[in-house]
Structure 1
Amino acid sequence: MLHRHPYATALALQVAPFDYDTPNAIIHAHRRSDEDYDVVPPSTSTSSAFAKRAPETSAIRRKIERRRSGKFVANHAGVTLTLNGQAHGVRCPMFSQGATVDGLIEVLNPAGVMRIEAKIEGYVEVFELAGNGKTRTEVLSEVIALWECPKEPYDADAIAALDDSSSVYGNGCFARSSKQTLVDLCPRVIPFRTTLPSHYTDLEGERYELPPSFLERLPSFPGFKGDVRYSIIVSVTRVREMGLRWKKNFVSRTPFEYRPLTRPSGAFPFPYRSKSKGSQPVTKFTSSIESYDPLGQHMKSQLYLPTSQTCPMHEPIPFSLKLSGSEDLVELFSQDISLPSFLPTLSSDILSTVLRGHHRTPSTASTSSTESSTYSGHLDSSYARTDLPKIRVALVRQVCVNTSSAGLYTDGSQPSKSQLHKSTVIGEGVLYASRLNESSITFSGEVSVDPRSGVRCAGFVTKNLAVRDMLIVSIKQPRSIHSPLKDFRQVIPIHFTTDPYTKKD
């Protein structure tokens, strides 16, 4: 029999004091030796296998091409950069993996121009003002357009070839009429076309996927940021009017957003499986809620994710949480609530609206806990008074930064490796209904990425910067009664995709 879960509002809105959601906690930093250094702490998930991600299909590409039929134009001091294949009216151009960067460079006044170079550049930068300084890793560097004057027109031979009476002043500078005769050497328009790579290789020979554009700041550490940035740099070298030996370099930098497009390898729901087999990913994640009594009975937890661990970023993630055990343990999650903690029953639609409208404001204090969150909030005390365990399903994004400096210290010692963690709750789960029998109780619901969380890309890993997403199931036992069970926390790695599954053409 299907029952409306009477505590859905309380369970979803409770802010349990777990490691990843401690009020007034945002960031921690701890130093590790080279031996125990790890970019991301090991996951407690029973399985870390992801469903394979597939590149965008031809149908998605055609959709993007139809949507991005406009041009992006940037003008800097007489040098115009035009990029084709962009959406109309965008302020920043955007490209995906394997995209063609197609456009042209136009010079309004080519007089005296000796060299024009266009370069596409990308880098990962970790900056810590009060620590080890700046660490920059180049992930993309390619010259996409280059023009150089075929012969230096301003050397002694060029001067001798000109008419002395009308072309050169007594001070050795060209007259404007002579300089005008050299304008034809520089083209006014230079087209370019290149294809973005999908991977890069660092200085140590390790191969990584090209990371998406990303920016993260840690408020508790002034001057600290982790940044992944891409841009197109146009450099123009020309001689000045009154001095042939003086060259002036003009550099314009046009940033663009790199956003790889991915989709799941198949359509969900996937079958209920605890091990991957062929194209069928893992969807069942089993753990146990331990008892305080070593000889006591544990409770079995089974989480079912029909979408597997690879989920579209902008779609809800359904889940089913089944808790199995003896009748006495199951009764802990289904007993009648006391009068002070009574909450009215809401319909699913109203409940979903209420929960998604609850937004926590960022906190700016620091803590020394092992994990922390940038979201915290204070709820009405009526939500906290319940004799039922508080069940919470949340999406959490963890940013890990390696702030170790390069090179040696002045005393010749190696720089120490350090690591900063920032965990942010980016989505809260909603419990809609429960199914109860003598040996188990099952909760059904869904969790989504909050649009206000600012998540625009999937997780990625580089040498100095790692971004990972996870689904955390936590059960906080009530303190008003003596519970035989301990608090429970399970971490399931999640990999987001930018698009849902579509059938191949």
Structure 2
Amino acid sequence: MSLALAQPPAYELAQTPSYAVLPRSGEQRLALSGRMPTRAIRSGTFEKRSKRLVLALYEQRAEGEVPVIDRGGWVSGCVGLLERAQEVQKVEVKIDGVLYGQTSRAGSTMSSNRSLTDGKMKLMYLSESLTLWEKKSQTNTTCPTEIPFRHRLPKTFFDNQGNEWLIPPTFETNFKGMYGFMAYSRCTISVILTVPRGLDKFWSKDTSLSTPFVLQARTRPPFASIEMSSRLLETLKSAPEAWSQHNFTVQTTDTLVGQLYISKPTAYCMNDPIPFHLQLTGESAALAFFQLSQPAMERGSVQVSILRHISVAALDGDVVHRVPGGRSNQRLVSQSPGLLSWEGELIADADTVNVGSFRVGPISMTDYVSITIDPPPSKKTQKIAFIQTSRRFQIVLTTDRWQDMGEAGPSYEL
């Protein structure tokens, strides 16, 4: 008996689906693998000494002048007593963090205890107390000369109104010529000893020892940016979904239309260059004043930069101080009738931008890509009325790259 082999069913060759770097409408990312963290492991020890006390903090940068502790990270260290340990009744470690803002306007919107009317705000976001050793009554135990400790800092805190905030990084502001405006965030770690009454005169001021520390609030973008080719315009055409487009106009006799393209997500590590593409379209007569062929006195300027806003909220509105946050190395890449194109990278200023963008209560640091278009200085442009144009588009600057996600804190979802 012969067996007839059944024919397999016919299949139609389906068209290969198109793929995009970022999820499109109706799609979602199920998983994303990051690279191994690239940050160096801190293995040094920081020491602060007095006549009778030593505070040692572990997991610090080698030869660091100020200890650094991550938000939500571990504080590891040891308290050492150099003499008279038998007289000590209690050893405590206290960790404090304060956020302070001051404006020349009255009426801060929030304080740790009450609403102030003198334009000042003080908010305690860290107040941790650890009892390392305490002498029990009616015992002859002596305080150890070395007491190790390990404590994890919180990531968030609640203000007096019950609102939860991420703990801010430490920072200092120094605004010359801006009277009445001040903002800072400072942290300290202290060792406090309790000794019997009558002996405190022998200890003098050696019953406490404090040191400031840098609280590092680490953040990262929510996902990686597209890998850039040597020409940004090529990437813009091949993967338009990976770019964020921002439109604006330049008021002249004949309106010019501008488009700024920056890569998604609009959150960037402050140590990395930020690629951008800028183009102006409109009447050739107006665009001609921005071409390199024009003499310097007859040429307008187009500047792209990073602008940081540091603001303190008051009852009658925000008080904002604007500081330059970075520059660009832009270059004109296309000159054609009705179109001018620039591309380049924005570089954050390490002296100004040393913490990431954040907001805690009435104090915030917000970053923008700023575009300033200045008209030509020459009188030859009087036939075309130019108006100086400034536009800004918000971005977020983070401390870490997306690839460092193994160690970094929360991401910014924009």
TM bucket (normalised to shorter chain) is 0.7 to 0.9
2:346 alignment partner AA = V
Q: How does 1:145-294 map to 2 (within 5 A)?
A: 145-151=131-137, 182=140, 184-221=141-178, 225-239=182-196, 250-264=207-221, 265-269=223-227, 283-292=244-253
State the distance in 1 between where 2:260 and 2:170 align. Answer: 33
- 1:310 maps to 267
State the distance in 2 between where 1:209 and 1:57 align. Answer: 24
User: 1:439 Cα deviation (Å)?
Assistant: 2.6
1:492 aligns with 2:393: yes
State the distance in 2 between where 1:485 and 1:442 align. Answer: 19
Classify the secondary structure of the residue corresponding to 1:185.
Answer: coil
Contact 1:233–1:252 at 8 Å: present in 2 too? Answer: yes
1:323 alignment partner AA = L
1:73 alignment partner AA = E
User: 1:434 Cα deviation (Å)?
Assistant: 2.4
- 1:392 maps to 303
Structure 1 length-normalised TM = 0.62
User: 1:272 Cα deviation (Å)?
Assistant: 5.0
State the distance in 1 between where 2:54 and 2:200 align. Answer: 26
User: 1:203 Cα deviation (Å)?
Assistant: 0.9
- 2:36 maps to 59
User: 1:99 Cα deviation (Å)?
Assistant: 1.5
- 1:85 maps to 59
1:110 aligns with 2:72: no
State the distance in 2 between where 1:111 and 1:100 align. Answer: 30
1:422 aligns with 2:358: no
Contact 1:272–1:283 at 8 Å: present in 2 too? Answer: no
Q: How does 1:138-149 map to 2 (within 5 A)?
A: 138-149=124-135
1:446 aligns with 2:342: no
Task: Output the aligned Cα RMSD.
Answer: 3.2
| Greater RCO, 1 or 2 (C-alpha within 8 Å, sep 6+) | 1
Percent identical among aligned pairs is 23
Q: Which runs of at least 4 in structure 1 moved beyond 4 Å after TM superposition?
A: 127-131, 221-224, 240-244, 246-249, 269-273, 416-419
Per-residue deviation, residues 386-419 of structure 1 (Å, max 9, x unmatched): 21221111111111124x5xxxxxxxxxxx6564
2:247 alignment partner AA = T
State the distance in 1 between where 2:249 and 2:358 align. Answer: 30
State the distance in 1 between where 2:371 and 2:154 align. Answer: 37
User: 1:497 Cα deviation (Å)?
Assistant: 1.8
Contact 2:35–2:404 at 8 Å: present in 1 too? Answer: no
State the distance in 2 between where 1:335 and 1:116 align. Answer: 70
Distance 1:436 1:79, change over 3 A: same
Distance 1:397 1:102, change over 3 A: same
State the distance in 2 between where 1:243 and 1:473 align. Answer: 63
Query: What 5-or-longer segments of structure 2 have no aligned partner?
Result: 1-32, 107-117, 229-234, 407-414
Per-residue deviation, residues 261-315 of structure 1 (Å, max 9, x unmatched): 2333213348759xx9xxx7652111222345xxxx4221111113642122122
2:71 alignment partner AA = Q
1:467 aligns with 2:365: yes
Per-residue deviation, residues 359-379 of structure 1 (Å, max 9, x unmatched): xxxxxxxxxxxxxxxxxxxxx
Query: What 5-or-longer segments of structure 1 have no aligned partner?
Result: 1-55, 154-181, 342-385, 405-415
State the distance in 2 between where 1:313 and 1:457 align. Answer: 8
Distance 1:441 1:223, change over 3 A: closer
Per-residue deviation, residues 326-359 of structure 1 (Å, max 9, x unmatched): 3333334337423xx3xxxxxxxxxxxxxxxxxx
User: 1:474 Cα deviation (Å)?
Assistant: 1.0
Classify the secondary structure of the residue corresponding to 1:137.
Answer: strand
Aligned length: 349
